[in-house]
């Protein structure tokens, strides 16, 4: 038995695990609640317009949920590696672990998971977040990690993204994430405007707003693409290196942008070539309105002004005698 039971006194006893992020859960819950409410209303819609209304609702809510959710996800760029590495500073203990890197628009998550989880009398299961969004201090978060005595693999990867690192990727990722987030917020606003225009039956301008939404989404992807394709320092763990690739959020955002592009182009093309089909999709059949207007002016109804004028026979008109002065 050794002093401090074989561990160093400045390391905390419990793992500093990153808490569960509820932002995505809240967003998904809100949009699913809206979907359930509209599904309850769905039986009240008659005819074949019910199917078109449900498809418009499903596509609209899906686009809005994705554009809003990817703002807070941390898997725009991900990578994993399995390696034998030192566990903590000033210790020769080696552990076999999976090391993960998850890059988002607002920061980076570093995961350390042991194989098996319980090694050297500890539970190795860490997930630390280091923010770089505007208003956050990445170097301070890194210093706090040093003070807490986080495992060496986490500190080693986090140091690669610090402002003092020779890799010089911190500024590029930070600015790219800021502008990508800004364009996504603008895309969310244009999506709301398109929903409002469609509800007001202004279909052409609604299609234009969808095209603008797709354009802003593609710009956000371009900003992140530029930051990712800059020169990087290798993240090496002995003979293996940690390599990253585009994550689920990147591909989901790309798919949403393509969907908005196709929907916007389809609405504009249908509006110019076959507006009747477009009105049918949006349940805007004007034949019923014209029929109601025609029925309101039938001769049987005395309230029509034109009918009142024609009811007077020509023979009963008053004769006017004009006397020349």
Mean pLDDT, rounded, for 132-157: 89
Angle at 135 between CA 132 and CA 136, to 5 degrees: 40
pLDDT of residue 255: 96
Q: Which of 100, 101, 104 is nearest to 69 (CA)?
A: 104
pLDDT of residue 21: 60
pLDDT of residue 47: 65
Decide if 151 contacts 112 (C-beta within 8 A). Answer: yes
What is the pTM (predicted TM-score) of this model?
Answer: 0.78
Q: Can you give the residue ranges of every domain in the chain?
A: 22-72+171-230+248-282, 77-168
Decide if 217 contacts 257 (C-beta within 8 A). Answer: yes
Give the 3-state secondary structure of residue 166: coil
Decide if 176 contacts 224 (C-beta within 8 A). Answer: yes
Greater model confidence, 165 or 258: 258
pLDDT of residue 231: 64
pLDDT of residue 228: 82
In order of 60, 248, 278, 285, the CA distances from 281 in angstroms are 14, 32, 5, 9
Decide if 61 contacts 80 (C-beta within 8 A). Answer: no
Q: Work out the widest C-alpha separation in the chain, in whole angstroms.
A: 139
Rounded to the nearest 10 degrees, how much is the dihedral formed by the CA atoms of 26, 28, 30, 31? 160
**Range from 79-93, 130-144, 197-211, 227-241 carrying the lowest mean pLDDT:** 227-241
Does the pLDDT of residue 236 top 60, yes or no? yes
Decide if 112 contacts 124 (C-beta within 8 A). Answer: yes
pLDDT of residue 43: 76
Decide if 190 contacts 263 (C-beta within 8 A). Answer: no
Helices (H), the chain: 23-41, 49-69, 138-148, 152-160, 170-199, 203-228, 248-273, 275-281, 287-295, 305-310
- Tokens of residue 40, six digits: 């309850």
Q: What is the pLDDT of residues 173-217, one digit of tens each?
A: 999 999 999 999 999 999 999 999 998 888 899 999 999 999 999
Name the pairing type of β-strands 107-119 and 240-241: unpaired
Does the pLDDT of residue 230 top 80, yes or no? no
Q: What is the pLDDT of residues 107-136, one digit of tens each?
A: 999 999 998 888 888 888 999 999 988 788
**Range from 39-48, 156-165, 234-243, 311-320 carrying the lowest mean pLDDT:** 311-320
Greater model confidence, 323 or 109: 109
Greater model confidence, 7 or 140: 140
Does the pLDDT of residue 319 top 60, yes or no? no
Decide if 237 contacts 83 (C-beta within 8 A). Answer: yes
Decide if 87 contacts 120 (C-beta within 8 A). Answer: yes
The Cα–Cα gap between 300 and 5 comes to: 103
Name the pairing type of β-strands 245-246 and 107-119: unpaired
């Amino acid at each position: 038995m050794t002093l401090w039971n074989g561990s160093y006194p400045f390391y905390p006893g419990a793992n500093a695990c990153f808490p569960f992020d509820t932002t995505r859960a809240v967003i998904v819950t809100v949009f699913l609640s809206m979907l359930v409410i509209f599904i309850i209303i769905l039986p009240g819609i008659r005819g074949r317009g019910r199917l078109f209304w449900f498809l418009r609702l499903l596509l609209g809510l899906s686009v809005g949920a994705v554009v809003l959710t990817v703002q807070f996800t941390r898997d725009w760029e991900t990578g994993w590696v399995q390696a034998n590495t030192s566990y903590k500073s000033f210790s020769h203990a080696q552990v076999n672990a999976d090391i993960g890197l998850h890059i988002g628009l607002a920061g980076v998550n570093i995961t350390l998971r042991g194989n098996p989880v319980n090694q050297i009398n500890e539970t190795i299961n860490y997930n630390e977040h280091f923010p770089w969004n505007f208003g956050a201090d990445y170097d301070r978060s890194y210093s706090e990690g040093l003070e807490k005595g986080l495992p060496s693999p986490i500190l080693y990867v986090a140091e690669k993204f610090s402002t003092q690192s020779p890799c010089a990727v911190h500024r590029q990722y930070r600015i790219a994430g800021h502008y990508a987030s800004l364009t996504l917020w603008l895309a969310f606003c244009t999506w709301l405007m398109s929903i409002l225009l469609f509800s007001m039956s202004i279909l052409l301008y609604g299609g234009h707003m969808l095209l603008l939404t797709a354009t802003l989404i593609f710009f956000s992807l371009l900003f992140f693409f530029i930051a990712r394709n800059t020169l990087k320092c290798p993240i090496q763990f002995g003979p293996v290196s940690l390599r990253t690739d585009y994550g689920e959020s990147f591909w989901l955002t790309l798919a949403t942008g393509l969907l908005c592009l196709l929907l916007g182009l389809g609405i504009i093309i249908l509006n110019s070539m076959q507006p009747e089909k477009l009105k049918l999709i949006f349940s805007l059949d004007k034949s019923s309105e014209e029929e109601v207007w025609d029925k309101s002016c039938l001769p049987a109804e005395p309230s029509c002004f034109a009918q009142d004028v024609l009811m007077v026979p020509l023979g009963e008109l008053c004769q006017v005698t004009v006397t020349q002065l």
